[in-house]
């Protein structure tokens, strides 16, 4: 990858968790990993579809989408460096604009499938609703909205514990993460005008060795480990993130939905 990573000049102590992991060589930046992505994409009916991906990050899922032969691919990513990386990655088979997921500038009813992973969790309640409304606007009737996000469990999780997880997570990853229960995610999509066609869950195992191997491969995992050993500040951050993930392992789960625009 030749293009510069997002926030390349920011020190490790203050970098949002996903860009810190990217700096260390991680390419899959979502809670359920490639396996949950594949389950979600499998139910999203990509072939022949006009696809819009919100917040493609480093373009890993973009590449997966392209192998399933969509009619078109358009990414909308608000980080300029990430958008450049995605553009390099999709080449002539798609494009990626720098933009806001809640205001893509795309025409009404111009897509069959909108995809967004690990991007709603980091929005406020109002922004979550605005992005879902934008997905509904851009989709044709009957179009699909596929998301992959972080959830809390069980649905009856005590409110105080929920706040505790959200605050600890936000502190560790330095992103204002606001995961919700699976039921709350579902309700948000339904209120936004969607019916739920498919739900899948996977353990939130972003930093567990088995998941690292599955997501990054052996070489990628070794590169990540080597970079971690070489960078004291980054290692401290990653260990802190991992500690939080382990502490709330029971309360966190990755969830994906395929929802249909009514």
Ligand X SMILES: C[S@@+](CC[C@H](N)C(=O)[O-])C[C@H]1O[C@@H](n2cnc3c(N)ncnc32)[C@H](O)[C@@H]1O
Binding site for ligand X (CB under 6 A): 18, 28-30, 54-57, 60, 76-79, 82, 100-101, 117-119, 122
Distance CA 178, CA 162 (A): 9
- Tell me if 48 sits within 8 A of 56, measured CB to CB: no
Q: Which is nearer to ligand X, 65 or 165 (CB)?
A: 65
* Smallest distance from ligand X to CB 137, Å: 15
Tell me, what DSSP letter sits at residue 14? G
* Smallest distance from ligand X to CB 56, Å: 6
Q: Which is nearer to ligand X, 112 or 117 (CB)?
A: 117
Q: Which two tokens stand for residue 14?
A: 């203050």
* Smallest distance from ligand X to CB 3, Å: 13
* Smallest distance from ligand X to CB 143, Å: 19
- Residue that the structure tokens 């998941």 belong to: 211
Q: Which is nearer to ligand X, 160 or 257 (CB)?
A: 257
3-state secondary structure of 27: coil
Q: Which is nearer to ligand X, 136 or 230 (CB)?
A: 136
Nearest to residue 73, comparing CAs of 58, 63, 84, 85?
63
Residue nearest to ligand X (CB): 57
Nearest to residue 99, comparing CAs of 72, 74, 124?
74
Q: Which is nearer to ligand X, 60 or 186 (CB)?
A: 60
Q: Left if phi > 0, otherwise alpha if psi is -120 to 50, otherwise beta: which for 165?
A: alpha
* Smallest distance from ligand X to CB 21, Å: 9
The 10 Å Cβ neighbour count of residue 67 is: 9
């Amino acid at each position: 990858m030749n293009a510069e990573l997002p926030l390349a000049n920011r020190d490790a102590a203050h970098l949002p968790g996903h860009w810190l992991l990217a700096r260390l060589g991680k390419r899959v930046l979502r809670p359920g990993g490639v396996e949950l992505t594949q389950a979600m994409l499998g139910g999203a009916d990509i072939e022949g579809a006009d696809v819009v991906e919100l917040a493609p990050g480093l373009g890993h899922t973009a590449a997966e989408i392209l192998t399933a032969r969509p009619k078109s691919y358009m990414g909308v990513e608000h980080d300029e460096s990430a958008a450049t990386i995605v553009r390099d990655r999709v080449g002539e088979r798609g494009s990626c604009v720098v933009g806001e997921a809640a205001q893509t500038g795309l025409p009404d009813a111009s897509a069959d499938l909108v995809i967004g992973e690990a991007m709603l969790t980091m929005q406020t309640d109002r922004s979550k609703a605005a992005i879902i409304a934008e997905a509904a606007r851009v989709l044709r009737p009957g179009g699909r909205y596929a998301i992959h996000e972080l959830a809390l469990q069980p649905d009856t999780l005590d409110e105080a514990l929920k706040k505790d997880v959200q605050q600890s997570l936000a502190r560790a990853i330095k992103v204002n993460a606001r995961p919700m229960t699976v039921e709350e995610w579902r309700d948000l999509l339904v209120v936004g005008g969607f019916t739920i066609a498919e739900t899948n869950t996977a353990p939130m195992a972003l930093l567990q060795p088995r998941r690292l191997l599955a997501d990054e491969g052996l070489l990628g995992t070794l590169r990540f480990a080597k970079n971690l050993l070489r960078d004291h500040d980054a290692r401290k951050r990653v260990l802190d993130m991992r500690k939080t993930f382990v502490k709330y392992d029971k309360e966190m789960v990755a969830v994906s939905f395929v929802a249909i625009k009514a």
